Structure 1
């Protein structure tokens, strides 16, 4: 009867979720008392890291027991650096246990405090992920999908089964602070100005292009850093999205292969293998993907010129495809216990294409023009890329608190964006004739070479302080060629149109130095830093008589504060200054033909925009659950504003200028709730006021909106080998300088089943279950109004299979024990 009721409860929850009801609850766990700052004359201290990765483990539990009767004497938790310091201990013999949920416990015996030895340094304590031996296969305990750190949110990708077979974008669809539209375009707190890192290094591709190419199966975690310290590049007003790739820490040969198929011609396969010894670690991977999406679009435009109203009504279907392949490889040489030298390279090709077939009705009132056309627009964007880096790490001490890191990185991209447009004259029923009203072809070629050199130095200062300093140089070289061709029906040849063909050379050098200092003052932890950057930018255009230069020096400060409360809650605040630099396309002053009704013109006088970002957050933990409340304020000056202006020829000209400032003030509530052993809820809601001040084309603009974004993710565990995940996301309406964007809601459902002792996993997913995802809005300006709407194919099914190769560890001598024990001796254990 009990099992029957449990199954009924799971089914009832699933139906309530799909019906749109939200259930929130909270559980209370046992409180853990933390010790305050204690006298230094009787102290036990150390650092806890994850075995194999050496990643510091924050919030690990430290317990000190009497060796005489095993009674608990005192305890505490580790800080953001994995370090702990516990005092007020009387002389005696103790054993110390370090523990964290999902990891095996480590016990250090024979820790003695005497009147002559009151300070005990345990050094680095390693915790291994908890495993249950089933034959030779390891089963790793679940981790929370979202973890909250002092300066970032960490998304554990393995806990998001909705993303199986997808890309980093699919993971981000259900991530706090992130919004994703139906075309896979990502914004961070409403801004598309963010930087994508891969393992802390800039991606070869940028923005959403990079996120759409990285398979979710290759990711360990995703870090959302809204207020980065000055150690990171200040580029991207909204912050940084850092993709942390999987690094198998097992010795010997191991790996994983994933394959996905989906409705509507979608498929992906990727393979990652690893071979590790004590002297080196060799890795290799390949991936190939092809995903096609279909959709419907419609738009209207009204223009008012010379007492005439001109109407342009378009409707049609659109398909777009993203595909690519890549090869990556790397090797780390462990030259000594303290020195590592690594080499990594990847190469591949990223393609995207689209095909639109539409019907256009173009007429004026009073009626002087009334024409019908059948339109075809196709584009293919192909990019070849290569990147490689050399990195080294040298530790001056055992725990790595004193170290030197270096990196040289090279990135190369080369590709063409070819677009074809045609319009055939038709009758009022849209039956085409053999008369072409338009036939054009454009080819935009781009080639770029980017170099990056950096050095980072870190050393501890006192028991809790840390000093970091670094230097970096970034050298960017880019060439863009734009070829515009008309089709000559008489010669049946494409003819160059010099009015729109051009070439631009772009050069930008950025030299940076930074320093940060972090320390503790009782329960307060702080980190302050300052970064200086000198920028030398030059643009040379083939059709211009002069070059356009920018020569400036900028300062970027940052500050992070954390206050640890005794009830396992945490108060954090941070500030950083960010920059958004315009790209080559934004700066190109030559007209770029989009269609016969629209032309884009870059602005070489564009300057960077600057953002001051403030965060204040509070987090309360309940065992493995937590609730966090985060307030943020972001103001951007010198705002790059997109402008649409109607010319006397009836063509809409699109450009950009530094005209305005905007600000966002709001809060985000997030809860990660382990309600029962079979039900996990992760939910967040963000409410913020967006305000835009300035002018557009000489007219004052003061617009604001209250934006609401929310998501709810529920995971139901039917057994150790099967679970279901249900997700819903709502993105509220918002405003821009010349328009409005409407709201959107969509939902996904996924089911995962494990086979063969968890070596094989199958995941079935349904995306946009209710067919509600769409992109819709309007814009207006002097003498024009326009609307647009795009809807992508709904209810996409995907099936993903994942197989682990040699994913096991050697059996321990005592497999029944989940505690690693060792004796303490002065100087180490």
Structure 2
């Protein structure tokens, strides 16, 4: 059974509070003795981060001092006098392990006790021995870690399904993710950038191939500052056992939903070869309703729309690579990923147009079919050189390249019908549009970490990112007289986008008593150029920005830890946001970019406290986030009766809130994880000379209960509720949904079967309203409910993923996690 990797730091404080003097020859003796070693999981042989090590005097068994392991499982205890000792290693959910016979003398001042292995603790139910599970969510000093194998509701799904029940994260009805109310965040995969961005990247990652997901809302200066809300880092599974191992998963669901993936590993002393593939074809169905009112003089025009919104998402990916262990301290890694992605959206809508007062009335059918498909590729070449045995003094190098192509096609037919929406009384409009894009990105990164003699740590690095995009958009109208498609130059254009970012950073961390600290500063120079075929001159930007960060933590007692942090971040507008030429959406709506858009800058402050109660704990966080140059979508009704959508830096917003989260081991067979989030959101700004100041109180509640019916049987129930919120020109209503899953394991846990029912009560829907001086618009969408899914998972040769793969290559550390 999987082991609990529950964050445990109280041992260090305990040792400081109750430590006894070490046995020494005399009081003037220099306390120069050191004890070092490494703590490993006995089952997987992976290093255990944050494990406790306590040093006792052999003479009277008094506690002398202690410490915790780093992300490599290493520990080093200094300041010990000459004498005899024994050590105890402790980690919640594991049996305690002791090491005796430690002697420090003038001729033997440094003692390396080597490896200490910890075995998972167990409890007895009847005659059956049960090994403890990992917590579903672990709270660390700077992040939340979601252990995916403990979330059986996400079985057969993607990273989106894992995040549906994760504190600080919300997922809307279309699977779009927001982090603390913001959709501006950065997605990393094993600490490296993703070819796709945001929610699109998360949709492509099967949950069964993920070890854990890290939520980092206030990253250090070592990380790129993109994404106002922070970073979502997805850590993929990687086997640690020698020889050949693997795991295969398959899912089938009602409504034509299919997904499968395979991971294989072959590991020797000098190399580790890994290969994976996944395929998915996922259909979903939904219903939409909208009501638009347009106020012109003394007349109100109504457009009421009802219809279907169906979609099909599909994809196929291959990934592979190798770790080459050149020496005990040097590792070279090469990895390649490639695949195809696509989605089709279609549906038929019925439109009823009429005016009051007036006699105008039309009944219209809109057939809309759109599709997007493309190819993606990425390659990583990384090298790590360690300069000492602990691995803390090191140099990391990363060379990254990615390429993506995309082809969007859309066809719309609108025609008149009778009041029963029967027949075709004549086409109003028939259009075709096509958008092709190609993106290439190059990254170079160098990171250096050096421990300091005072117990602190110095880090420095540099990075260059070169981004190139080309887009072509064609638009055609159907000519019924000639039965030909005629290109429309008003909506046909092409654009080249270039952005170069060169950055450098430094961080300094250390410890003063029970206080840990890290301060950092990152500087970035950005050059951006947009060339549009219809523009006389390219639009350029030259900018230099500074991004300071700070982190503090205090071990207030052996069960209480207090943390605070600050960071400044940026959200850069995309090429599409900046394109000034019109993009046709339908006969009522046109979208247009804004080349004058400025980046958004966010300052974020967090304060948190964690209180442990045995194997349970509660974590409370408060946060304040303010954004300057807030980019908001603006709707404007023009004289031709068409609404134009564009973006502008019209606002400044403020979010002040709190989150309370907890893991509760209520009984041997029942574990509860729940959270409550509340924040006050304020928008300040002007639009067309009028104030658009808005304010709302937003809250959400989530619960995840796990019931162990037998050693190989478990039921998991989750529920989520989100309260109403506001936007610059509107508001959204509340939403609730719940899921339930049952997992059964067979053949000594080599095979598992999971049956899931999603949206049990059919309550999941999205509803909002937007309005301006001369229009209002209501929109509601309800997604497919009560979806039943069956997922099978089979381990080949007892496949076990690496629990020590938490550090992002060159992006980790004490404030960012372990190795990936």
Q: Same fold per TM (> 0.5)?
A: yes
Paired position in structure 2 for 1:670: 661
1:541-556 map, 5 Å: 541-556=532-547
Distance 1:436 1:282 in 2: 59
1:760-816 C-alpha deviation (Å, 9 max, x unpaired): 00000000001110000100012000100000011000000000000169xxxxxxx
Q: How do 1:503-652 and structure 2 match up within 5 A?
A: 503-652=494-643
Q: Does 1:249 align with 2:243?
A: no
Contact 2:67 2:77 in 1 (8 A): no
Question: SS where residue 338 of structure 2 aligns?
Answer: strand
Correspondent of 1:803 among 794, 807, 810: 794
Q: Is the 2:10–2:558 Cα contact (8 Å) retained in structure 1?
A: no
CA gap 1:676/1:712 in 2 versus in 1, 3 angstroms? same
Q: Is the contact between residue 61 and residue 75 of structure 1 (CA under 8 Å) also seen in structure 2?
A: no
Instruction: Quote the Cα distance in structure 1 between the aligned partners of 2:212 and 2:111.
Output: 32
Match of 1:350 among 335, 341, 351: 341
1:34, CA displacement in angstroms?
1.0
Q: Secondary structure at the match of 2:576?
A: helix
Cα contact 1:285–1:328 (8 A) shared by 2: yes
* Pick aligned residue for 1:787 from 758, 772, 778: 778
Whether the aligned pair in 1 keeps the contact of 2:36 and 2:111 (CA below 8 Å) is yes
Matched, 1:433 2:413: no
Whether the 8 Å contact between 2:296 and 2:774 is mirrored in structure 1 is yes
Alpha-carbon contact 1:48-1:60 (below 8 Å) kept:
no
Query: 1:444 and 2:435 equivalent?
Result: yes
Whether contact under 8 Å (1:373, 1:432) holds in the other structure is no
Distance 1:597 1:94 in 2: 80
1:304 Cα offset (Å): 1.2
Is the alpha carbon distance of 1:287 and 1:538 closer, same or farther for their aligned partners in structure 2, counting shifts above 3 Å? same
- Give the match's secondary structure for 2:173: coil
Q: Secondary structure at the match of 1:34?
A: helix
Distance 1:33 1:389, change over 3 A: closer
In the TM superposition, 1:371-386 aligns within 5 A as 371-386=362-377
Q: Does 1:477 align with 2:474?
A: no
The worse-fitting range, judged by mean Cα deviation, of 527-536 and 304-313 is 304-313
Q: Deviations over 1:16-61 (max 9, x none)?
A: xxxxxxxxxxxxx999961228888165543645469997644422
Match of 1:35 among 15, 21, 36: 15
Query: What's the offset of the Cα at 1:411?
Result: 0.7
Q: Which residue number in structure 2 is paired with residue 227 of structure 1?
A: 218
1:659 and 1:368 mapped to 2: Cα distance?
39
Matches of residues 136-215 of structure 1 in structure 2 within 5 Å?
A: 141-215=132-206
Structure-1 separation of matches of 2:109 and 2:560: 28
From the superposition, tell whether residues 409 and 542 of structure 1 become closer, same or farther in structure 2 (CA, over 3 Å): same
Residue 80 (structure 1) shift: 5.9
User: 1:369, CA displacement in angstroms?
Assistant: 2.3
Q: CA deviation at 1:757?
A: 0.6
> 1:396, CA displacement in angstroms?
0.8
What are the superposed Cα offsets for residues 278-297 of structure 1, whole Å, 9 maximum, x if unpaired? 11100001100011110110
Distance 1:47 1:577, change over 3 A: farther
Q: How far apart, in 2, do the equivalents of 1:119 and 1:438 lie?
A: 86
SS in structure 1 at match of 2:761: coil
CA contact (8 A) 1:626 1:673 kept: yes
Verify the 8 A CA contact 1:424 1:432 in the aligned structure 2. Answer: no
CA contact (8 A) 1:144 1:624 kept: no
Name the residue aligned to 2:63.
73
Residue in structure 2 matching 1:416, options 407, 411, 414: 407
2:482 is aligned with 1:491: yes
Partner of 1:307: 298
Q: What displacement does 1:624 show?
A: 2.3
Q: Which deviates more, 101-110 or 632-641?
A: 101-110
Structure 1 residues 570 and 61: CA distance shift in structure 2, 3 A: same
Distance 2:778 2:787 in 1: 27
| Structure 2 spans left out of the alignment, 5+ residues | 1-8, 22-29, 123-128, 801-820
Aligned twin of 1:268: 259
Larger CA deviation: 725-734 vs 462-471? 462-471
Tell whether the 8 Å contact from 1:255 to 1:271 is kept in structure 2 after alignment: yes
Per-residue displacement from partner, 1:364-400 (whole Å, max 9, x unpaired)? 2232521101111111011210110100001111111
- Please give the secondary structure, in 1, of the residue aligned with 2:557: coil
Write the distance in 1 (CA, Å) between the matches of 2:400 and 2:296: 54
- Is contact 2:89–2:96 with CA below 8 Å preserved after alignment? yes
Say yes or no: does 1:713 pair with 2:704. yes
Residue pair 1:724, 1:752 contacting (<8 A) in 2 also: yes
What is the Cα deviation at residue 697 of structure 1?
Answer: 2.5
Aligned residues of 2:415 and 2:427 also touching (Cα < 8 A): yes
State which drifts further: 484-493 or 711-720: 484-493
Displacement, 1:492?
A: 2.9
> What is the CA–CA distance in structure 2 between the aligned matches of 1:389 and 1:333, rounded to whole Å?
14
1:345 Cα deviation (Å)? 0.5
CA distance in 2, matches of 1:529, 1:79: 23
How does 1:766-785 map onto structure 2 within 5 Å? Answer: 766-785=757-776
Kindly report which structure 2 residues correspond to 1:284-323, keeping only aligned pairs within 5 A, or say none: 284-323=275-314
1:176-214 deviation per Cα after TM superposition (whole angstroms, max 9, x unaligned): 000011211100000000000000001111000111110
What SS does the corresponding residue of 1:290 show, helix, strand or coil?
strand
Contact 1:129 1:140 in 2 (8 A): no
Cα RMSD over matched residues?
A: 2.4
Report the counterpart of residue 727 of structure 1 in structure 2: 718
Q: CA, structure 1 residues 617+380, in 2 after alignment: closer, same or farther (shift >3 Å)?
A: same
1:645–1:782 Cα contact (<8 Å) kept: no
For these two proteins, the number of residue pairs brought into alignment is 775
SS of structure 2 residue aligned to 1:635 = strand
What SS class does the counterpart of residue 36 from structure 1 fall into?
A: helix
d(CA) in 2 for partners of 1:320, 1:110: 66
Report matched runs for 1:679-690 at 5 Å.
679-690=670-681
CA contact (8 A) 2:13 2:514 kept: no
Q: What are the ranges of 5 or more consecutive residues in structure 1 without an aligned counterpart?
A: 1-28, 133-137, 810-829
**After superposition, what is the alpha-carbon deviation per residue over 1:260-293, rounded to whole angstroms, capped at 9, x for unaligned?**
0000110101000000001110000110001111
Counterpart contact for 1:129–1:141, Cα < 8 Å: no
For the structure 1 residues 124 and 151, does the alpha-carbon distance in structure 2 shift closer, same or farther, using more than 3 Å as the test?
farther
Q: Matched residue of 1:170: which SS?
A: helix
Q: Rate the CA distance shift 1:32–1:46 in 2: closer, same or farther, 3 A.
A: closer
The 8 Å contact of residues 104 and 111 in structure 2, kept in 1 or not, is answered as no
Please tell me whether residue 697 in structure 1 is matched to residue 688 in structure 2: yes
Question: 2:399 & 2:555 partners in 1: Cα distance?
Answer: 38
C-alpha separation in 1, matches of 2:579 and 2:381:
34
Q: 2:81 and 2:383 mapped to 1: Cα distance?
A: 44
